[in-house]
Structures are given as C-alpha cells and as structure tokens.
Structure 1
Amino acid sequence: MSKKLVVLARFSEYGIPESTVFILNKKKSSKDYPQILDKCDTSNVDEISFYCMDVHAASFLRSEIQRSSFLRRQVWKNHSTLLETGAVVLQILLKEPIRYHMDQRFGSQVQLLVNEKIELDHIMSCLSTLGGAFSSLGDQFLDCAKIAGKISLQQYKIAEKLCDPVTLMRCQLYLSISLIQCNRFKNAKIVITSVYRSMKSRPEELQDKRVISMCLGIWAKLKYHWYLEKKQIYIT
C-alpha cells in the first residue's frame, strides 16, 4: 500500500474542506481525492495536528509539500497515521489574511492583459494621428477620405477589444466624417444620429460631453456639405 499524505484545509470546523493527497513514493504528486476523507475514521485517532494560518501561508505550505519529497517524508514521520487507510492527515485551520496578495500565476495573466492594453492604446493613438492627417486632406482628395474611413474601421475593431463604448462611438463619428467627404450624406446622418441618441439616452453623469460636442460639430459639417452639393446640382 502506497503511503499517502492528506492535507486538509478549512475555514472552520464545519466548513467545506479542501483536501489534497500526496503520494510519498513519487517525486511529484498532487491529486484531489475529497472522497478519501469518508474512508478515514478519525474518531479513534487522538493526535491529529492542527495548524492555524492564513490562506497565503497555507498555499505556500501546500506548494512546498508538492515540490519537496523530503518535506513530505518529514511531515509523514512527525504526524499520526490513520491505520484504516495508511494515510497521514495534516489539518489546517484557515483564517483571513490582513491583506490579500496576487500570486505569480494570476499576476502573469494580469501582466499580459496590461501589456495588451498598452499596445492597443499605442496603436490607437498612431491610427488617430494617421487618420487625422488623411481626414484633413479628405475635403480636397477623395482617395484620402476613403483611406481615412478604412483607418476608422480599424480603430473601431481595436476599440471593440478594449471594450470601451465611448471610444467605439468616437470611431463611428470618425467614420461619419469620411462618409461626408465621400458625399454619402444619408449614411453619415444615420451614424451621427445613432451615436447622439445613444449618448443622450445614458444617465447624465455617464454622458461624455466631448462626444456630444463632436456629434453637433460633425452634424454642422454634414449640413454644410449637403448645402454645397445641392447648390452645385442646382447650378449645373
């Protein structure tokens, strides 16, 4: 029969235990067997060690027991054995830590998300600069207006990854400027009114005044270009 070391952790005597079983005759072993406790009759065992520590210390202890076969053997030698299963039970009473700390695995995952957001923000700023340059030339050159529209679409895709609704609205307004310059006034009107109504439907404290001002300014540009287009058609 293989020797087993059971690490039992709980917040209270009546709390739901989390048990981990380590096999002593293997270099590294970690498998969860909650059902092993049902087979262990602890009523006849007088000396079962209890340790009180916070959750971080218990996590460190479990990791070291998992890593070190020497530490597992030392725990085995210094604790009582449950004769029915040939297992040693190490009971830990958990308590809340004064301050929670981020572990290495979760920290690395968060770092990846932070790095991704930094890169997306950098790309967004570069596209904004490039799109602004083409948009400024869009009134004179139709090709520049079309390129500015394509850049706005790329910004919209990045804003979707950032999950920023305000940035999404601003990208739609950038696209509406390109539509105006391409004389697609009806499409631009739909985009501007949709963004304006969506922003005004929010609670007042959540409304972005810059987006509302952008809608009003682009709407004035739309009316002006529409007037020029109608005047040109009338003259010809």
Structure 2
Amino acid sequence: MLRALLALLLILNALFFSWTRGWLDGVVGIRATGDREPQRLAAQQTPERIELLSAQAAKALQQRACVELGPLEGDAALLAAQNVLAGAGVPASEWQALHNEQAGVWAVTTTRFANKELQTRKEDVLKKAKIGYEPLSGVPAEMPALLLSRHASEKAAALQMERLGQRSIKALQVLQLQAPLKRHSLVFAQADGARRAQLRSLKSPALAAGFKNCNAAALAAVTSASAASATTAAPASSGGR
C-alpha cells in the first residue's frame, strides 16, 4: 500500500514539474504562465511603429467623406479595379459603381485621294458648293482625305452623305472615328479617415485614375440612387407586416 502511494506521489510530482515547464499546456488547457502569453510579444513585428492617437486624431479618423475612383475607361477597367479592392479587403458594400456611356463619333469623308491633283479638284468642288471641310487625321489607312462632318451615330452620318450626294458631291464614305465608350467610377459615399487612407495607399495600375473627393455630379447621383433604393424598399417592408 505504501509503495503504491509513493509511486502515485512520484507521478504527480513529475506531472506538476512538466506543467510548470509549459510542456503540458496543450494537453491540460491551462497555461503555466497564466494569461500573459509572452510568445505574442516576442512575435511582434516592428512594435515601434505602434503609437497612441490623440483624441483629435481619432476624431479625424471617424469623420466621413465622399471619395471616388475614376474615370475608368471600359468594363475591363472597372472589373480590374473592383478585383484590386476586393483583394485589399475593401467590402463591396462600401462603394457604388456609376456608369456613363460616351457616344461614338462617325464622320462623312471623301474617299482617299490617289494624288494631289484629285484632292485639289475635290476642294474646288466643295468650295463652289459652300461645303466646309478639313483634312482627315487619325485614320492613316484612309488618308489623304477630307472630313466634311462629324455625327453622333452612323445613321446620322449616312443621312448626311445621302444629302450631299443629292448635291452632286460624290466619292464619299462614312468612317467611325471613335467607338462608343463606357466610363465608370467607383464612389465611396461614407468613407471614414482610415478607409480613405487605405484607398490612397493602394498601388496598382488598375487604380491609376486615383482617388479624389467626389464632384457634385457623383455625389448627387449617389444620393439619388440611395433615395430611390430606400423608396423601393419601404413598400416591401410595410407590406410584410
């Protein structure tokens, strides 16, 4: 009996010694060092960068303002910017995408001149008909040629070319000088100081347009969209009661 008691005491002493060394922390669930967790302090990186904020600085971080990113040219640019923000941990619920479609540009031009003599003769015809023109630029494959008018749609350009044809102005064509383009912007209507600092610190070609304070148009569009959303949600909310 005494031998069994002695063996038990030896085992208990060995277990207690092991626990005080921290060898059994993961087994018993109670740390020998208590709640101090010195390993966390040892694992800190650049602790000297930690600083306490003054009340004024903390208040400034809490102030909210509207900032926007844009313009972003085309859908691919919009998607790339959104991916960068998502990768940086910025919630999609904090921004709103605004869209603006820029119309294309079509033109009525002469066909390409084979030589200078043909160009001079065409210019004389246009002058006599009192039709304005200018040298065509930006379309190397069609130059040299003369640009007679610009239009917001291909249909309008074709109609103008038909009218000129009725005035005996021949050898004309419709060219697209600029394709329709979608422009986007991402608006953070209620970004606090910490979020604004994070956004402006992000470095990526997709964010090259830069974050800036919202202009009046962007702010009005976001406010209008929020109001419309609230109005739409109200009947649905009351209807469920």
Flag whether TM exceeds 0.5 (same fold): no
TM-score by length of 1: 0.24
Give the helix-richer structure, 1 or 2: 1
Give the strand-richer structure, 1 or 2: 2
TM-score by length of 2: 0.23
Higher relative contact order (CA 8 A, sep 6+): 2
The structure with the larger Rg is 2
